[in-house]
Amino acid sequence: MVQDEIERNMGVQPLDSIMLEHALGNHDLVNACDEPITHKAVQRARRGRRLTKHMQRRMVEALNRAIMLRDESLKRSWEVGDLFTY
């Protein structure tokens, strides 16, 4: 398969609905992550722009930490497969 043929836009991802459910914005994930991520990267993740596995793991870490920082009990620890459909 030629590199140009890879579908890059996968549509709105489950990450978006999870963030809405917990009333989290892009800024909350950026602040919660120990590793550098940008607001633009979070927006791309929510809207379904294909991310690298490394960046997907950063998003998972940031989401889990942002929920814990809100003093909400983390009912479950989210995984990459829960947040992304690709």
Would you list the domain boundaries of the chain? 7-83
- pTM metric for this prediction: 0.86
**In the predicted model, what is the mean pLDDT of residues 51-55?**
96
Q: What is the pLDDT of residue 6?
A: 66
**Distance (Å, whole) CA 48 – CA 4:** 17
**In the predicted model, what is the mean pLDDT of residues 40-68?**
96
**In the predicted model, what is the mean pLDDT of residues 2-22?**
84
**In the predicted model, what is the mean pLDDT of residues 16-32?**
96
pLDDT tier for residue 4 given thresholds of 50, 70 and 90: low
**Distance (Å, whole) CA 85 – CA 7:** 13
CATH fold of the domain at 7-83:
434 Repressor (Amino-terminal Domain) (1.10.260)
